[in-house]
Structure 1
């Protein structure tokens, strides 16, 4: 099947982008709300047009060829330009009915999302809010258009992203009030003598305090590893276990526990991140302003 590249439409380019980002014909079809055969047909046309397989199947995923990556670089620019042209210059929250998607993790869902959602609902009662996991690569959620905005310790400096910092955070140690080290300053030696609960968020994410202690030549050997801070207070209460968590989160989830300064503070910034694609959108500007106004402080 051959096709003159000048006959391609934006739907074909969007299909190419989705298969690339999602790694699956099936997932792309679900996102486009079409049959998988329609996606296969479009990719077949593109293969004929560009004389390249574009994707090869490896390990259950559709892996892009080098030619596909080159084509996507130009296709993304065209799709972003089309989005920019279609975006309204004005936005009226009171009458809006769109769905906005925020990518974040546990910290933000506990401390920030309730305030953000309340503010969004107050200004735009007809809008819906969807919250998805950012894991360790939330910027990919932005690039794949799964999310409108990313909230958390995900500042990006490379071209194509915009970042606004709203406050700084650091790590502290949580433990039962009866723990022998409760209320005492922890030295590095004290810290490594503790029985640690390590929160391993997965997705390639490594907490800032771990990066700091490893940079100093240390390695943490945990007694217990869990995937989330959920249920942490119950794990620590009445035990000799200690968890290192962001200070604000620790204060929120464990008011009956003791908190001590961590010798590895792991200071980090919390940010709102978005892409150039949504930078000029009136609706997205409003969304970011609401988020920042309710996250600062």
Structure 2
């Protein structure tokens, strides 16, 4: 017997959204702090109500059907509005004991997060802060409610996001001071012929200088590939290796090394990013203003 959709509640629709975003009944149950059987029961009711399986299992994930996608497109705005209605209209950082989560990557953890944490603790001494990896899909961390804000590069233009630019950055070449071309402005051919250390951040992320280089019809052939800039100064010191990384980061982590302009500057913006769901929240407005004050 089918269930009348008018008897469904917001919790059922939120469960549907979580299973969709996380691709797993188990992950949705953990987020809701309930048993997996409760999630399975809720999805079964929704399947009965809408006469559709809503999810099919493919490659270890729960993949939404087209009907499920249409349902979420129609209900997500309503769920976001309900979230906003539930947010307190006044937020006092001095007495708050809330937890906030910031998604970012290595660059931001070295250059920005220490200043941000200091400002947050100054304004709200009793809050707790969680910093997680954004990788190349920080926007998913926001959409899946794993993070309150994203700090870093952001190139998406979806209607569900808001952003505030912090500043612009560009790439430069980091090398030992004894390198024959240290301090010189490199031609494209000189740059391509160097012994490169490539930083492969993973997560589908491709650095802006590589995008610019490949768009110009070139290909970088690395001598060494590493997963992050951690330990880069020690790798390069006393060698003929050259790494391309954001200029400010190079200046911070390798003060004893030389920095030269890169023919592929790959300029990009650092931003604070959030979703429409948290746009009007008093706590999130304070959080964003504190981050801007810190930077």
TM tier, shorter chain?
over 0.9
1:133-188, Cα deviation, whole Å (9 max, x unpaired): 11111111111111111110114432121111010000000011111111222111
Q: Aligned residues, how many? A: 295
**Partners of 1:142 and 1:274 within 8 A in 2:** yes
Instruction: Supply the distance in 1 between the matched residues of 2:286 and 2:256 (Cα, whole angstroms).
Output: 38
Instruction: Supply the distance in 2 between the matched residues of 1:230 and 1:7 (Cα, whole angstroms).
Output: 54
- The secondary structure found in structure 1 opposite 2:132 is strand
Post-superposition shift, 1:48?
A: 0.9
- The secondary structure found in structure 2 opposite 1:157 is coil
164-173 or 69-78, which deviates more: 69-78
Normalising to structure 2: TM-score of the pair?
A: 0.98
Post-superposition shift, 1:75?
A: 2.2
- The secondary structure found in structure 1 opposite 2:260 is strand
Instruction: Supply the distance in 1 between the matched residues of 2:179 and 2:2 (Cα, whole angstroms).
Output: 72
Gapped regions of structure 2 (runs ≥ 5) = none
**Partners of 1:169 and 1:270 within 8 A in 2:** yes
- The secondary structure found in structure 2 opposite 1:271 is strand
Instruction: Supply the distance in 2 between the matched residues of 1:69 and 1:234 (Cα, whole angstroms).
Output: 49
Find the counterpart in structure 2 of residue 294 from structure 1: 294
Q: How does 1:1-297 map to 2 (within 5 A)?
A: 2-295=2-295
1:59-118, Cα deviation, whole Å (9 max, x unpaired): 111111111111111221111010111112211000111111111111001110111011
Instruction: Supply the distance in 2 between the matched residues of 1:142 and 1:270 (Cα, whole angstroms).
Output: 16
- The secondary structure found in structure 2 opposite 1:95 is coil
- The secondary structure found in structure 2 opposite 1:94 is coil
Normalising to structure 1: TM-score of the pair?
A: 0.97
Q: Which runs of 4+ in 1 moved over 3 A?
A: none
Instruction: Supply the distance in 1 between the matched residues of 2:121 and 2:111 (Cα, whole angstroms).
Output: 17
Instruction: Supply the distance in 2 between the matched residues of 1:122 and 1:178 (Cα, whole angstroms).
Output: 43
